[in-house]
Amino acid sequence: MRRCRRPAGHAAGIGSLATAGPGHRGRLAPAVDLYEYQGKELFRRYGIPVSDGLLAATPADARRAAEELAGPVVVKAQVLTGGRGKAGGVKLAATPEEAEEEAEAILRLSIRGHPVRRVWIERASDIAKEYYLSVTFDRSAKKALLMLTTRGGVDIEEVAAASPEAIARVHVDPLQGFQPYQARRLVYEAGIDDPGEQAQVEDTIARLYEAFVGCDAMLCEINPLIVTPEGEVRALDAKVTVDDNALYRHPDIAAMRDLEAIPAEERAAWEKGVTYVKLSGEVGILGNGAGLVMSTLDVIALVGGRPANFCDLGGGGDAQGVVDALDVITADPDVRSILFNIFGGITRCDEVARGIVEALRRRTIRHPIVVRLDGTNADEGRRLLAEAGSAGLYVEPTMLEAARRAVELAQR
């Protein structure tokens, strides 16, 4: 099985690359970051109060949406990155004409590399207060973590750095589940003292936790959770990340994934069923097993090189698997040399060697390829590679020597 996983845009880095659980065959999708309007759709299903709105792809659509919503609206860029407000991607519009103008400007924006392709037109809210509420995983505590602060509307990292005591935190034990007293404690510790607000915020906490579990989310965040001048509590923003390993039980959420937002080379890899993450260096990396590939990245760095990618063949050492992986790696114009690091266990080195030889027969590969084989049938594998006698093929006995060779070849 070959797996595909990309670090989630919201939270994770390459350190969070994880293998998929059992029960999946073939390809897996990257973790799903949802757009605000999709997150709000899920919130709505769980009874969390949100404002009415409509999606628009053109300024004319935005105008019609504003006409339909009748009254002042807010025009919001739909991109998979935060801080849209500061970047000019959230604007109030008093009339449909204004909504059209704002939409036109916002649809021309690219927010931190994310081109705005759609805007969400929402009935404008009056804001008296901005709070922050989220549920995420605290991996060290092995529990879900609820966070609430009355200092919402700004980056939570800023609040955490400047005044960590302002953020109320409560862990939820996965076996006991959420208990209503936990919401009361959060509200009390956050210092929300209006009884009307307390009841609504507590209700929202319970529902957000329900949404988090019900959607197999990794993050559900509302920033800001507003209080209107009339004392009504409502989610004005939504950030939801769903665990890709659970997508098989949420076909509706799987369908929300925006493939166009995934970098082209990662999408190509995903379509071929190759686990691939683009990095910024020159040495293309192929290995079997996520752990071995991670170590290979480290060794490349140790000998002064920079890996061009993470690529895990998994058990797919057959010729087609090798051809597919090489196609993906060589599509990256930054690649100068390629390193195969194979430790044969269940995967047999002779099988991988046959795959490499076959791949070289089927494809002209411009880059030098360094191979390190160890473990099951390594001798046989090395013999097959030697027999192939290909000019750009280098067989090295150890991982360190192979890494040195690959880096040296990349620098030529």
Give the CB-nearest residue to ligand GDP.
85
Asked if residues 149 and 167 have their Cβ atoms less than 8 Å apart, the reply is yes
- Beta carbons within 8 Å of 185's beta carbon, 6+ residues apart: 168, 170
- Beta carbons within 8 Å of 138's beta carbon, 6+ residues apart: 144, 145, 171
Asked if residues 50 and 235 have their Cβ atoms less than 8 Å apart, the reply is yes
Select the residue interacting with Mn ion from 134, 182, 200, 223 (CB under 5 A): 223
136 vs 223, beta carbon nearer Mn ion: 223
Binding footprint of ligand GDP on the chain (CB under 6 A): 74, 76, 82-85, 90, 92, 124-125, 127, 130, 153, 223-224, 236-237
- The item of Mn ion, ligand GDP, none sharing an interface with residue 236, based on CB under 5 to 8 Å by kind, is ligand GDP
In the complex, what is the shortest distance from the CB of residue 131 to ligand GDP, in angstroms, rounded to a whole number?
11
Q: How far is 8 from 5, CA to CA, in rounded Å?
A: 9
8 vs 236, beta carbon nearer ligand GDP: 236
CB neighbour class for 157 (10 Å; exposed up to 12, middle 13-18, buried from 19)? exposed
Using CB under 5 A as the binding rule, whether residue 102 contacts Mn ion is answered as no
84 vs 257, beta carbon nearer ligand GDP: 84
DSSP letter for each residue of 305-359? --BSEEEE-TT--SHHHHHHHHHHHHTSTT--EEEEEEEESSS-HHHHHHHHHHH
Q: How far is 78 from 322, CA to CA, in rounded Å?
A: 38
Using CB under 5 A as the binding rule, whether residue 122 contacts Mn ion is answered as no
Give the CB-nearest residue to Mn ion.
237
Using CB under 5 A as the binding rule, whether residue 237 contacts Mn ion is answered as yes
Task: Give catalytic residues, as residue numbers.
Answer: 132, 221
Name the one range near Mn ion by CB under 5 A: 18-26, 38-46, 194-202, 217-225. 217-225
Name residue, tokens 């665990």. Answer: 243
Q: Counting every residue, how long is the chain? A: 412
In the complex, what is the shortest distance from the CB of residue 155 to Mn ion, in angstroms, rounded to a whole number?
9
In the complex, what is the shortest distance from the CB of residue 76 to ligand GDP, in angstroms, rounded to a whole number?
6
* Site for Mn ion, rule CB under 5 A: 223, 237
